[in-house]
Structure 1
Amino acid sequence: MTYLAHYANAQLAALWMGCVGWTFTIMALGLVQWRVWKVPDNEVISSGVAWVGLWRVCFNSYTVVTPGFKHMYCSYIDLTDAYTPPEIASGQVLMLLSVVVGLCGNAGGVYTLRNVFFGMDKNSPIRLLFITAGSLCLTAAGMSLIPLLWTLTSVVNNQTINFPPDFKMPKEPDSQSVGCGIVIGLVGAVLMVVSGVNFCRYRLPERSRASMQPSLSHEVQLDGSAAQGALTSSGGINNPAFESHEHV
């Protein structure tokens, strides 16, 4: 099965893109800069900028500071809170599932490429394994794209969030823009899509009949020689009547 390695270069590149895309998904999951709010209140929010992520709302302040931070105040967003927008709630669930499914897809790609390049399991269905790994990568990309595009639409439409008073956030921003969390997440999702498509497009190489014909004739010659040698070495006596009939 070592010849299969010459036909899996695209899948090797797909594994690299899948790992990078999966890493970007993890980064987007942890970043707080999904939405960038420009707020009018500079007394509490010193810089006039607040960041809204999937798990936290943060801003720089010189009046209120979260323990452990120097000049930052953060509040955590709970999935079950009434004020939590549906795009953030779906993002907390789907982004986590995307990380798990993407990890399974990349692990499947590693296992399949291991069989291709090293022939560790010669009976493994290579094409089926690649399709499975690709399907998992595509599923992971779809899970992450839903909250990413949903949040992007909310930013474009300048939708507000009714934060509770202890968040110390205004009712609505002056303006809001897309943060680096959404950008990194979209790049990761695109890389996962490309990776999944390349995995699913793998085809087993077809050997030409011309290359198979010499080996087949060689096997026939070997079988004929072996059979003749077996008859000769059996110690039998030639039949004179059969030979005279053959000459006639």
Structure 2
Amino acid sequence: MTYLAHTAQAQLTALWTASVGWMLTAVALGLIQWRVWLVEDSAVVSSGVAWVGIWRACFNSHTEVTPGFQVMHCTYIDPREAFTPPEIVAGQVLMLLSVLVGLGGNASGVYSMRNVYFGVEKGSVWFIATGALCLLAAVMSLVPLLWNLTSVVTNQTIDFPSDFKLPSAPTSQHVGCGISFGLVGAALMAVSGVVFCKYKAPKKTNGRTQNSVAPVSRSMSAGVLTVLKGKDNPAFESHQHL
């Protein structure tokens, strides 16, 4: 069995990094805090804060329950509706695809490291495939993340229907943790992809892989045993015959 584990130490670290990046991307997909809207305090949005994600728009309200109790009112954002901004539609599609592609990249990374630690010489094909999938997942998530980030910075509005109970324009808005988590996850996936793509399989010389642990030859073993055996001591043998 060829020893190859030492050739992929950086890729082992990249696998953990890709796993963390994929989990952050998945968390960002489900968070509603992509855009944090500050609206005028009213009878409906009692807290004055609303959260707009890529799937739902939510706010806390005291009006629909017993006074003193708080309930979160959320409405689903349908990508087929005319009011839905294109950056939110892109987020729904590309972020979901990014999670699926990132899952495939992590699975491919596990298989690549399995081959290395079991001494299976498959070259760098699986490492390149892992890197390509991680990079693709990072690009897929970066497009909607940066697009929504730009919309927040430029204070873009959304013409919500009446059932959302939200104004079309906030007093001000800022970036939520959903975009922040997604950007960190995309960066980790991109770094992992580059590290995986840079893996180089050891070259073979005379049918043997370089930097591999070669088996000890029989002649060398015989020589070592001869040295360890030593010579008989005549004085010790004559002492035994006394």
Q: TM-score range by the shorter chain?
A: 0.7 to 0.9
Q: Which letter does structure 2 place at the counterpart of 1:137?
A: C
Hey, what does 1:168 align to over in structure 2? 165
SS of 2:4 mapped into structure 1: helix
Secondary structure in structure 2 of the residue aligned to 1:72: strand
Work out whether residues 44 and 62 of structure 2, in 8 Å CA contact, stay in contact via their aligned partners in 1: yes
TM-score normalised by L of structure 2: 0.81
Q: 1:8 maps to which residue?
A: 8
User: Are 2:116 and 1:116 equivalent residues in the alignment?
Assistant: yes
Q: CA deviation at 1:7?
A: 1.1
Question: Is the CA contact 1:41–1:170 (under 8 Å) kept in the aligned structure 2?
Answer: no
2:172 partner amino acid: S
Deviation at 1:204, TM superposition (A): 1.6
Q: Residue 230 of structure 1 corresponds to which residue in structure 2?
A: none
| 1:60-100 per-position Cα deviation (integer Å, ceiling 9, x unaligned) | 100136xxx95111111011111100000000000010011
User: Partner of 2:129 in structure 1?
Assistant: 132
Q: In the TM superposition, what whole-angstrom CA distance separates every residue of 1:132-151 from its partner, at most 9, and x where no partner exists?
A: 01000000000000000000
Structure 1 runs (4+) greater than 6 angstroms displaced: none
How do residues 84-123 of structure 1 correspond to structure 2 at under 5 angstroms? 84-119=84-119, 122=120
CA distance in 1, matches of 2:70, 2:41: 20
CA contact (8 A) 2:102 2:133 kept: yes
Aligned length: 207
**What SS does the corresponding residue of 1:3 show, helix, strand or coil?**
coil
How many angstroms does 1:207 deviate by?
6.8
- 1:23 and 2:31 matched: no
Q: Counterpart amino acid of 2:95? A: M
Q: CA deviation at 1:206?
A: 4.1
1:208 CA displacement: 8.2
Question: Hey, what does 2:149 align to over in structure 1?
Answer: 152
Match of 1:149, SS? Answer: helix
Contact 1:45–1:59 under 8 Å retained in 2: yes
CA RMSD of aligned residues (A): 2.1
Letter in 2 for 1:131: I
TM-score, normalised on structure 1?
0.79
**1:199 aligned onto 2:188:** no
Q: Which runs of 5+ in 2 are unaligned?
A: 211-216, 218-242
State the alpha-carbon separation in 1 of the partners of residues 38 and 169 from structure 2.
Answer: 9
The answer on whether the counterparts of 2:60 and 2:70 sit within 8 Å (CA) in structure 1 is: no
2:224 is matched with none
| Identical positions, percent | 65
> Are 1:44 and 2:44 counterparts?
yes
Kept in 2, the 8 Å contact 1:2–1:116? The answer is no
Q: Could you tell me which residue of structure 2 aligns to residue 215 of structure 1?
A: none
Cα distance in 1 for residues equivalent to 2:170 and 2:150: 16
Matched letter for residue 109 of structure 1: G
1:112/1:126 contact within 8 Å kept: no
Whether the 8 Å contact between 1:116 and 1:126 is mirrored in structure 2 is: no
Does the aligned pair in 1 maintain the 2:40–2:48 contact within 8 Å?
A: yes
Query: Which structure shows the bigger proportion of residues in helix conformation?
Result: 1
C-alpha separation between the residues in 2 aligned to 1:41 and 1:2? 69
